[in-house]
Amino acid sequence: MKRIGLVKKVLFYLTAAVVAVATIAFVLVYTYQDKIISLFVTEANKHIDTKVEVGTISLSLFDKFPQVAVSLDQVNVVEAMPESEEPLGKLSKLYFTFSIWDVLRGKYNVNELYLEDGAIYVKVLKDGSVNYNILKADTTATEDSDFAFNLQHISLNRVTLHYTDQQQNQSYEADAHQLQAALTIAPETITIKANGDATINTIKLNSGEYFKEKRVNLQTSLAIDRNNKQIKLEPSVVKVENAAYDVAGTINYAQTTELDLKLEGKNTSIQSMLSLLPQHITKEFSQYRSDGDVYFNGVIKGKASSKHNPEVTFSFGCRNATFYHPDVKQRLEKLSFEGSFTNGDRQTASTSELVLRNLKGSLNNRPFSGNLSYKNFKNPTIAFDVEGKVDVAYVLGLLQLEQVPGGSGLADVKIAFAGNFNEFKAKPGNNTVNTSGDITLHNVSLNLRDLPLPVTGMHGNFMFKRNNVAVSDFKGKLGDSDFVLNGMFNNVMAWLLLDNQRLMVDADFSSNYLNFDQLLSEKQNTPASARKSESGYRLEVSPNMAFNLEASVKKMKFRRFKGENIKGAVTLRNQVITSPNISFKAVGGDFAVRGSMDARQRNHIKVSTASKLNNMSVDSLFYVFENFNQNFIVDRQLRGSLTANIISDVYLDSQLNPKTNLLQAEIEAVIRNGQLINFTPMQKLSVFVKRSELANMKFSELRNNFYIQERTIYIPEMDIRTNLSPLPSVSISGMHTFDQDMDYKIKMPVFQKRRPDKDSFFGVVAEDPNAGNSMLFLTLKGKENNFKLAYDDDRVRAKIKDDLKQEGQEIKQLLKGKKPVKKEKTVELAEGEYFDFN
């Protein structure tokens, strides 16, 4: 109990002592506050040679306890440039601290500086002048001074540092999260030791950007020799992510800055090495990680100025390392290589060289090897070789390519490439690159971002020679369609590597089946973001593609159309496809065509053809072409065999919608053994013929030329010889618009008599020699579902006029003793009367 009482007494007296000291300190600080602030301002004005704007100045015992702090709020230090109002520093808080015992002694020695929440802007202008010379030439404190600056410690908290060197075309930006610096200032030497955390937002050197958004930790020690103007950097450590770099050497700045620095990486990785390089070089690989033994060291030596670059030499490599993407399971394993970089004997981009030697590794337990050389960064010459058997899915999973999100299969690769990129770009067709080797595909499939239709089952060999590739037995499937190619792909490397280069293909093409419903489907050939519809078609011919193909296709399909044994030659040049001869079987007959498709205007595609149809089934033809977008006469109402010659110009937009107002065609057609079944206009003639006979009107041959222009079909007069005894022949002419407006003229004989002993199935029945033919002239006008048969007044008048002329001629012949020619008789009806029979 006595011991407990003793402890309580000790604690009480200690607490009382602390409270007493704190009270005394607070009273002293409050009592001498105005004097201390006044001394601080006076002494600061002796040292600083620029304008400093401050919101408020106060004295605080608790902000930096146990030190007493002169606190400056909302500080703006103007840069030391004539007539400039730009800031050198803008800070929310700035603290200068000294000991509480200084207050008792009346001598104030400021040895610590705290900068918080703000930014510092350091500049070197083109003429070499700087904006940070803010201290007066003579800042030596006298011994009898009551307030003196002797900074030995500087702390930066949440301060952004900006450095711009217009001479060197360089800029730096870093956020100091918590950075501590200790200073020892002597007449000839300044020693600085610093450590802490920062984020380097960017380091821009000329056009390159380095260390972008990298978190670093600094542990550095350097000595500045004022007399010799030299900075000696003791072995210091810069940690970047998980890697550490030892830096040591000297920097002379007496005249032109001269560097002599050595760097060595410790615990480095591929990503930490990549972080040292410009982002445009490493952007594609920034997400990758590595494990294993990765080493790095180098030397920077020589003058550094607007006219001089130091010599830079680095060696790097790895042994038994693993390279992978953190979001996928695939890994590049057992990786080893030796690498080097130098900026060459003239220390310029044109003499710089990057080399990777003896590159070896394993992809999914399949080994590969290679080498790489990249010379002259200003005018690059690239050489590489690679050999191995690769798993396509594994490689695509590792590379994470946006354009090719997935795939499968194997590929044997043995290829070498060498060439100067700019020379190749200037003269891509002059053998300025050299490729050799070959690639063989084994059941390779690819999923392409810009092509929803899958590419599957690819086999074949590609042999590289300079800018061209020989293709042997390249086969595969695109959706339901299959293909086999053998031939030459010319200008391949230029097409792959450069913009607006043309790939030229000379090959034999064969296929068992082509499904143009898929191949031309906008939904299956266009990314969702670029589609105009989900149900339409899309046809675009690339200006960067040309070919000469000898094609052979066993079967093809487009909508209702199905073709077989398609053969012919097809050429593409400048977005114009031409063929001198394509033949195939379709719709029960033979089809041959020559012509062209001009796709140079994306929404104004012109198809010009000369076609020959032989023995095609008429009803099947109407069915396949969907009754040609009309309902007046449809496939179920027709029978017969069609032979035709067609010359046409058809215009389409990119979604294969026809521009019918521009369509032009000339059709020479013959239909044999035809039938017209349940054709409504024929039913209107039931007054002359039984409905049962009209239900199936047969004719031996129909021959005529048809013309299409301005959305109208023009039909010259033609005779149809039928199986109908009352109507052994019918003559028809007229026009039919694409809007289904009809205007037909019909001429047919009536009152004919048959021979009782002879009844021809087709054609004319012999007439009574004493009786003439009686002709009926009709018109058919209106829409498909609303038309009228009427008496043709104009043709009757013309007929009567012709008959009168004929009679006059007959009288003259009688007078000359010649027998008159038998004439047709015309059925006379009331003018304008309609035949609206039931």
Per-domain boundaries in the chain: 208-389, 715-838
The span from the CA of 474 to the CA of 471, in Å, is 6
Please, are residues 762 and 721 in contact by the beta-carbon 8 Å criterion?
yes
| 197-200 LR contacts (CB < 8 Å, sep 24+) | 198/174, 199/174, 199/175, 200/172, 200/173, 200/174
Give the pLDDT of residue 399: 73
Nearest to 610 by CA among 628, 587, 592, 597: 592
User: Which residues does the chain have with pLDDT short of 50?
Assistant: 13, 17-21, 24, 139-141, 751-772, 823-838
The span from the CA of 78 to the CA of 510, in Å, is 78
**Angle, vertex CA 528, rays to CA 483 and CA 626, nearest 5:** 65
Give the pLDDT of residue 752: 44
Three-class DSSP category at 212 = coil
Give the pLDDT of residue 145: 65
φ and ψ at residue 530, rounded to 5 degrees: -105, 0
Instruction: Give the count of beta carbons closer than 10 Å to the beta carbon of residue 626.
Output: 13
Three-class DSSP category at 268 = strand
Nearest to 390 by CA among 373, 415, 372: 415
Give the pLDDT of residue 510: 96
Beta bridge partners of 359: 370
Instruction: State yes or no: cis peptide before 769, omega within 30 of 0.
Output: no
Structure tokens that stand for 278 in this block = 């410009």
Give this prediction's pTM: 0.66
Give the pLDDT of residue 816: 58
The span from the CA of 176 to the CA of 194, in Å, is 12
- Residues whose CB is less than 8 angstroms from the CB of residue 153 and which lie 6 or more positions away in sequence, other chains included: 111, 112, 113, 180, 181, 182, 183
The span from the CA of 138 to the CA of 355, in Å, is 54
The span from the CA of 401 to the CA of 529, in Å, is 19
Structure tokens that stand for 723 in this block = 């199986």
The runs of H, that is alpha helices, within 478-597 are 492-497, 516-519, 522-525
Three-class DSSP category at 299 = strand
Taking each helix axis from N to C end, the angle separating 33-47 and 2-31, rounded to the nearest 10 degrees, works out to 60
